[in-house]
Amino acid sequence: MNSSEPQYKFGKIFVLGFGFFGVSVIWSIYNAFVPLFLDGKFGLSAAWIGFFMTLDNFAGLLIQPPVGAWSDRLRTPLGRRIPFILIGAPIGAIVFGLIPLASILPLFVLCTSTLLLSMAFWRTPVIALMPDVTPSRYRSQANGIINFMGGLGALMSFFVGSKLYAINQAYPFWMGSGLVIIASLLVILFVKEPKVYEQPSQEKTPGLFKSIAMIWRDPEKSPLRMLLAILFWFISYNAIDSFFTLYAFRHLGLSQSESAFQLTFISLIFLIFAIPSGLIGSKIGRKTTIMIGIIILGSVIAVLGIAPVDSLLNILTELPLVGNIRVVGVLLMVAGLGWACININSLPMMVDMTDDARVGTYTGLYYFASTTAAILGPNIFGWIVQLGGNNYNLLMVFSPFFMVLALLMMIGVRKGEAKKKESLTETL
């Protein structure tokens, strides 16, 4: 066995998952409550809300891929990924806590802009740590664990955050700031990066546009098809993610806190199935698992679009602490299963299309596609809603179209399954 090969350790991956936990807490609270601020506090239209919800992604689009490549090349006593977390996480935590205190729109924009810059700086490196410390054949399982932690962060954000929001609108944000500080400290203190890395070739690591051009010209179109699939399903998902609280508030007629609370259900099931989805991807193949997830999620969104409001609001049962379980909540549970199948297996599939020297670069490309989608999705659907007379149900009508496009792209993907052997020396 190759002595330099990273060893798969459940505990190490679990602690690493706190990094993803912190990222998830920030964006879950942001996507749930910032649209309500923009609608109620600043009176913005749906199109402007859609545009505003993409501001956090413009910097990510430009910063995350080169930061990923930079972290591939960086060598410090702390490692190549940890320095980015050490700088970006504290700054992000501080400005996140200031967002609900901003009483005028320019100050609000300043806080969110600083947040997006800091988050873009450390998100790719913290995610790239997973393949750094995990052999290829275990990456779907490992991604399941870190996404389990991400799902836990989202669950806390929606379940606890919705309760805190009803007391004081600033409390969810302050909770998020504290959790990010704690989570990043755990990663910095307890996750040790490999001491030896596969050295990149002597030629300069290609930048974002050269990397895109490279996979565009590659006769094997799997990376290109994968990037397009990621783009399409994230356009669909990010549109729903950005506007769901307004959909539930304006279309379904729920209160603001209950609208945010409904997102608890998708996060709960995502949390439950995060690890099993990785195991399923290892057993039946990542591609097959992702395609099943696309079909499930697209179907649920379509049902939300065509079902009568009264039927979606029907109360099926009531549970202590949780409250009413409505039909819409059950549908979101099914959506969480589909999203787990997609999200858990997509990043491992992407990074296993390259060698270890360019894991950060391909991680950056993954986030380039997802961030581009996060820009396009809310803007496209914000205009759809506004042109449709502020009918937020139109989200659920048009969103499945992009899921169909993602499914068509995945059909042609031929690479990215788990590698059975890390190297020749492993078999000796």
Annotated domain spans of the chain:
10-193+208-415
Q: What is the mean pLDDT of residues 103-108?
A: 89
**Span 6-39, pLDDT tens digits:** 555 677 788 888 888 988 899 889 988 999 899 8
Which pLDDT belongs to residue 427?
32
Encoding tokens for residue 399?
Answer: 């969103």
Indicate if the alpha-carbon torsion angle 374, 377, 383, 389 is positive or negative. negative
Q: What is the pLDDT of residues 172-214, one digit of tens each?
A: 999 999 999 998 898 888 887 776 555 555 455 556 667 777 7
The class of domain 10-193+208-415 in CATH terms is mainly alpha
**At a CB cut-off of 8 Å and minimum separation 6, what does 283 contact?**
none
Residues 339-371: tens digit of each pLDDT: 999 988 888 888 888 766 667 677 778 878 888
Q: How far is CA 26 from CA 118, 120, 150, 165, 353, in A?
A: 12, 12, 10, 15, 30
Q: Which tokens in the block code for residue 180?
A: 């990010």
Q: What is the pLDDT of residues 284-342, one digit of tens each?
A: 999 999 999 999 999 999 999 999 999 999 998 887 777 788 999 999 999 999 999 99
> What local confidence, expressed as pLDDT, does residue 271 receive?
83
For residue 129, how many C-alpha atoms fall within 13 Å in the half-sphere facing its CB? 30
Answering whether pTM is above 0.75, one says no
